[in-house]
Structure 1
């Protein structure tokens, strides 16, 4: 049966999720996260798009993508294809890096845009990576809640005493060869502790990232009201999860 064609129109916004094949890691070190951001920048040169929110986990990523003149599949082909080629070359691998097809869900309304952006930013909290998603270094939340951060400024940083240990879904022992890790696709529950440090000082977000659509919904001041909104969405998620468990 042929795969149904994805619907698209200029200006559409999508929540995009792409996972490593067999849920294996697609980011093995901080340099991989940085390279992925550069791929997002390179894609912007050939297929313009807006990036309203993002969160790079360890075996998958979330993007809130707004289209311009090119359909989503062209944007994603450039992103995943470029990164997969680089990843296989770096780690001397072959074959698929991502699952066969990324998932994309159209965002139908402004409320949907708000809710999806909060969901994306709460991912590290849901995965028990960190106590406060503001401190996760590989998402766009820090640029929403800290007005001093701009596209050219350093990432939001913490003092040594405030740093969080990220209990990431990717837990790799330093003694395990990367090739062995990726080729054998181990069970995630068997991965050991892995700590991801903050990005290098001055490492900017992807050039396609823009806060303007969210800013329209949280006009004054964005960094206060958006932070409270993300926190409320997380509390609501926890309540709903608790109700499902009891039922």
Structure 2
């Protein structure tokens, strides 16, 4: 799970990690939700608190996982800023800003390793789950970031899993287009992407058919 290119603190990156040989790594709603919990947990500075123990604490059950993390760690202990994400059956996309030295490498490595352990125990499986290296691509401008977020949110539409990005529960799209419906947002993006929800939805919807067709052509070209 090594990084390919140097990652600079303060910069934004598109991070992607694929499963080995297209193995399906998310099979149930619970598995997707577990990964989202891990993303939230490992976005904070490394502590001696283990994720597997944290989720069993009575105070976590009482307060709620999200509120507990916010109260215990606070924004000052974030090592990454999560701008956008999308979990797919065989891979994951994140748009991240590094806030602390080696923040992205640490957060991604921890969450992928933790999910591998969870998945292997649950499915009585052995061996690696992810390809050996996560990809990182620097984002060089606000315009590139805006278009990248659309690409990430349209991934399940392009793959033919859904017809509309709003139908996919395992991405940050609803945080962009229906923020009032999200009790505990995972992402923070308004300092970088300042689009009104209705304008952003139109921006994404207008491109959906094009991205879907592009994915179909790419698939045909590889067959």
Q: TM-score, normalised by structure 2?
A: 0.75
Secondary structure of the structure 2 residue equivalent to 1:25: coil
Cα 1:238–1:30, aligned 2, differ >3 Å: closer, same or farther? closer
Counterpart of 2:143 (choices 111, 119, 136) is 111
Query: In structure 2, how many angstroms separate the alpha carbons of the residues matched to 1:124 and 1:85?
Result: 25
C-alpha displacement at 1:30, in angstroms?
A: 0.9
C-alpha displacement at 1:93, in angstroms?
A: 1.2
CA contact (8 A) 2:177 2:201 kept: yes
- The structure whose residues are more often helix, as a share, is 2
C-alpha displacement at 1:34, in angstroms?
A: 1.0
Counterpart of 1:60 (choices 48, 67, 91) is 91
Cα 1:233–1:210, aligned 2, differ >3 Å: closer, same or farther? same
Query: In structure 1, how many angstroms separate the alpha carbons of the residues matched to 2:153 and 2:44?
Result: 26
Q: TM-score, normalised by structure 1?
A: 0.68
C-alpha displacement at 1:83, in angstroms?
A: 1.1
The structure with the largest alpha-carbon Rg is 1
Counterpart of 1:123 (choices 137, 149, 155) is 155
Counterpart of 2:190 (choices 212, 215, 220) is 212
Query: In structure 2, how many angstroms separate the alpha carbons of the residues matched to 1:114 and 1:67?
Result: 18
C-alpha displacement at 1:5, in angstroms?
A: 5.5
Residue in structure 1 matched with residue 204 of structure 2 by the alignment: 230
**What is the correspondence of 1:117-196 to structure 2 with a 5 Å cutoff?**
117-150=149-182, 152=183
C-alpha displacement at 1:52, in angstroms?
A: 0.7
Residue in structure 2 matched with residue 10 of structure 1 by the alignment: 9
Residue in structure 2 matched with residue 51 of structure 1 by the alignment: 82
Residue 69 (1) aligns with residue 100 (2): yes
CA contact (8 A) 1:135 1:142 kept: no
Residue 91 (1) aligns with residue 111 (2): no
Query: In structure 2, how many angstroms separate the alpha carbons of the residues matched to 1:31 and 1:241?
Result: 28
Which of 1 and 2 has higher RCO (CA within 8 Å, sep 6+)?
A: 2
C-alpha displacement at 1:236, in angstroms?
A: 4.5
Q: RMSD between aligned alpha carbons? A: 2.4
What do residues 166-208 of structure 1 show as CA deviations (whole Å, max 9, x unaligned)? xxxxxxxxxxxxxxxxxxxxxxxxxxxxxxxxxxxxxx553xx
C-alpha displacement at 1:242, in angstroms?
A: 9.2
Residue in structure 1 matched with residue 26 of structure 2 by the alignment: 27
Residue in structure 1 matched with residue 35 of structure 2 by the alignment: 36
Cα 1:57–1:211, aligned 2, differ >3 Å: closer, same or farther? same
Secondary structure of the structure 1 residue equivalent to 2:122: helix
Count of aligned pairs: 185
Cα 1:11–1:59, aligned 2, differ >3 Å: closer, same or farther? same
Secondary structure of the structure 2 residue equivalent to 1:212: coil
Cα 1:59–1:236, aligned 2, differ >3 Å: closer, same or farther? closer
Secondary structure of the structure 1 residue equivalent to 2:44: helix
Q: Which runs of 5+ in 2 are unaligned?
A: 47-78
